[in-house]
Structure 1
């Protein structure tokens, strides 16, 4: 029997609010009070620093961050520093990895990558993985960053996932916040976007709608459902 996945789309949500929401949903999923969820949204300009603390990968001072209106968060996912901002679709799957899914932690990461590889294939974009690096690449350009946390359950066996993927959609995003960091600590490769790869324009809601069936196709333990738009 397939499990129900509660899906929402929010056009814009502050990073701190989204992080607090994830932590609350993780707690409630562990307690059995909340359906597993997929949050799809955008953030205002934000840098997040994962568990691999490398302050030298942030190229801007506190004063420059304030001038540019970019927030900075040190968070509990894996990985290094990355950028979130308008024109990038962020996905936070909050899934219970309890043995019934047949996924180990490594397999979960590969599945997230596969969702985005399949999405890009629909538009004739040959995307794939790069040895030693998590994420999705078009040639030597990263189009989707992935960083997750596996939260060990307290009330049952297994883990609840949090954080997730950041998919560059809009053209020019690589010239905005990415210029102020060494993305994911990788200075030998750049980033790209869906619009730059296709020469087409996309709305964020369109991309979110198209990702959902691919997500439930790869994570086939889940029942697909209509997207709910949250504009609060």
Structure 2
């Protein structure tokens, strides 16, 4: 595990480090369970858990994740193959980038797949009525789930962030935290994993975790 800069006190925020709201691995697990506490049909609860898991496994942005199609999911290979055009920095280039999916994510997706028999050319993330899940609703549901469990995001300064204040990058930051601090990825490898176009972007946000 890579060391990270120690704070003098949780009550004395350090202005020298960036505010990068993120959830730790145990909190991601809590958030997954909290998806089943929201007032929604079971299919939407499962869909929301799968969205949290895919975003955490891959580091994809919310809009990028919501573009996922069933044709991109390979349950046997435990992978998600995303066309470059679907990524913010992919432009109009041909080709795909493959992301490994965790075993828990694959199990959740398998449950969704059983409930979606005619899923060819269909989006993965839909509402209970079959319409595509919009970013605004997805964000609202994630915040609602986090609020139900009292999950607060950590920041570099030691401050906490309530769910209603979670920025859209929170789950992406959580992936970066796992890569940098838990799994020991270098900045260069983290940048490549997140698909940042230049290393400076990754360094500016996550270098303080060295």
Structure scoring higher RCO (CA < 8 A, sep ≥ 6) equals: 2
* Bigger fraction of residues in helix: 2
Per the normalisation by structure 2, the TM-score is: 0.30
